[in-house]
Amino acid sequence: MGQSPSSPLATCLNAVCNGRTDCVAYPNDPLYQISWVSRYNLDLPVTPIAVTRPQTAQDVSEFVKCAATNSVKVQPKSGGHSYANYGLGGQDGELVIDLLKLQDFSIDTKTWHATIGGGTKLADVTRKLHNNGKRAISHGTCPGVGIGGHATIGGLGPSSRMWGSCLDHVIEAEVVTADGSIKRASETENRDLFFALKGAGAGFGIVTKFVMKTHPEPGNMVQYSYSLSLGKHTDMVPVFKQWQDLVSDPTLDRRFGTEFVAYELGAIITATFYGTEAEWYASGIPQRIPKGKVSVVIDDWLAVIAQQAESAALYLSDIHTAFTVKSLAFTAEETLSEATIAKVMKYIDSTNRGTLLWFLIFDASGGAINDIPMNATAYSHRDKIMFCQAYGIGLPVLTQHTKDFLRGLINTIQASTPQALTTYPGYVDPSLRNPQQSYWGPNLAMLESIKATYDPNDLFHNPQSVRPGNKKASMMQDF
């Protein structure tokens, strides 16, 4: 450890740690950037003023009070998987509260409600639920993502059409607010705060513990993969249109999750059906999806999760690299016309991409996610049926050519609709001109009001988080 800097903030943080090692680190520590900061996106340098590792909610509370007293902004980190390093504050000089030691887990076998520590990574959530009654929740495919960020921003994954997003499983949260108090938030206690935590959590507090409803693991699953290697991307136009027509069907079986990934050498369609092989064929989907080379029946939930993580790692894994990312969200009325699909593929073929590692990923959404009213939680994309993410990864460095390629790619899609397409805050795009409106749209005024109540000085801050607004807006909704 480097010597602690002499400052009122450091004195306060050190007092909370009370001699404990592995509790706080500062920029003068020789391993600070590698072991403590550990940026996920190497293209965006961030140096926090300090990184703390609390062991309890009380530690979190005391660290928050230290920051507030010294007018230092705060951001929690529960896995470090933010595209823009917002788990590190997204900018220099903020205090990072790293939740990696908050790994509590228990499950009530009467209600099957699971209590999960805010620093638990998705891989461990899956394992612990499996080992305690073969239970499951809906979440994304990257095992290194932390539940704290995932379940407070949305949490989309292959089973979301069937079970809803990860945040739709949260029924209660233990949260430290800007005044350092430890509160419970649920539908019956601090309902306004609970609303905000379910979709915009990083700007409202630090969730130290979740209580989540769970499901029995599916007994049977069918996994599907189809790889295309074509001469040029324009050859993919009819294939993508067939896939998009399928996922746009409002009657599509909710047990079906799928994505379409275009990349340098072609495209991959992956799909998971949570049911038996007979149910898979009875759904009619095999007759409507582009024909594949692999169809495997797996009755092991953990094997399916592992396979999905492996597929996700093909385009963006836990490896820390320099990359750029853009994203868009689509309602049924905003899906791509055949002419727009052709323009997109032609653009890809004719543009200097600057890297061989780029991906354009379309994920099916909707289903159970859309059942919940838009104003029930901060998450505002209840009407979306599809998302796209565009990644460009530097080899070995990220070039301007790659950034320009992705910007033009998204602009080509955006130009096909008269209204501005929004996007999901989990797919962080630091270049957005009006990120708060894009992320939270119709719920933004309500969130700004709740922010003014719980965090009027904007202690929990990143470049795109909700800012304090007019408290009177909270009167618009009965909490």
Position 474 scores a pLDDT of 55
Give residues with Cβ within 8 angstroms of 285, minimum separation 6: 246, 252, 253, 256, 271, 273
pLDDT band at 476 (very low <50, low <70, confident <90, very high): low
Q: What is the CA radius of gyration of the chain?
A: 22
What confidence tens digit (pLDDT) does each residue in 11-34 have?
999 999 999 999 999 999 999 998
d(CA 391, CA 402): 9
Q: Are 142 and 317 in contact (CB under 8 A)?
A: yes
- How many C-beta atoms lie closer than 10 Å to residue 310's C-beta? 12
Q: What are the angstrom distances between the C-alpha of 207 and each of 77, 87, 154, 156, 171?
A: 11, 13, 14, 19, 13
- How many C-beta atoms lie closer than 10 Å to residue 289's C-beta? 19
Lowest mean pLDDT among 73-82, 351-360, 452-461: 73-82
What confidence tens digit (pLDDT) does each residue in 373-400 have?
999 999 999 999 999 999 999 977 899 9
Predicted structure pTM score = 0.95
d(CA 376, CA 358): 36
3-state secondary structure of 107: strand
What confidence tens digit (pLDDT) does each residue in 404-439 have?
999 999 999 999 888 889 999 998 898 899 999 999
d(CA 225, CA 118): 33
Give residues with Cβ within 8 angstroms of 371, minimum separation 6: 164
d(CA 54, CA 101): 7
- How many C-beta atoms lie closer than 10 Å to residue 293's C-beta? 9
Q: Is 50 exceeded by the pLDDT of residue 120?
A: yes
Position 300 scores a pLDDT of 84
Q: Is 90 exceeded by the pLDDT of residue 471?
A: no
The count of C-alpha atoms lying within 13 angstroms of the C-alpha of 428, restricted to the half-sphere facing its C-beta, is 22
Position 156 scores a pLDDT of 95
Phi (first) and psi of residue 11, to 5 degrees = -60, -40
Cα–chain-centroid distance for residue 109? 29
Which residue has better confidence, 132 or 222? 132
Q: Is 60 exceeded by the pLDDT of residue 2?
A: no
d(CA 65, CA 182): 12
Concatenated DSSP letters for 332-370? GGGSPPHHHHHHHHHHHHHS--S-S-EEEEEEE--GGGG
Can you read off the two tokens belonging to residue 145? Answer: 């993502």
What confidence tens digit (pLDDT) does each residue in 83-106 have?
888 898 999 999 999 999 999 999
d(CA 399, CA 397): 6
Position 316 scores a pLDDT of 61
> For residue 111, what is the DSSP state?
T
Position 1 scores a pLDDT of 46
Segment 193-215 mean pLDDT: 98
Can you read off the two tokens belonging to residue 229? Answer: 């290697």
Domains of the chain with bracketed CATH? 8-98 (3.30.43.10), 105-217 (3.30.465.10), 221-431 (3.40.462.20)
Place of tokens 């009819």: 238
What confidence tens digit (pLDDT) does each residue in 301-350 have?
888 888 888 777 666 666 788 999 999 999 999 999 999 999 999 999 99
Q: What is the residue-averaged pLDDT of the chain?
A: 92
Q: Is 90 exceeded by the pLDDT of residue 248?
A: yes
The region that residue 82 occupies, defined by phi over 0 for left and psi between -120 and 50 for alpha, beta otherwise, is: beta
Position 398 scores a pLDDT of 94
Helix (H) or strand (E) holding 222: strand 221-228
Which residues pair with residue 323 across a beta bridge?
393
d(CA 373, CA 22): 43
pLDDT band at 290 (very low <50, low <70, confident <90, very high): confident
Which residues pair with residue 183 across a beta bridge?
175
d(CA 14, CA 224): 52
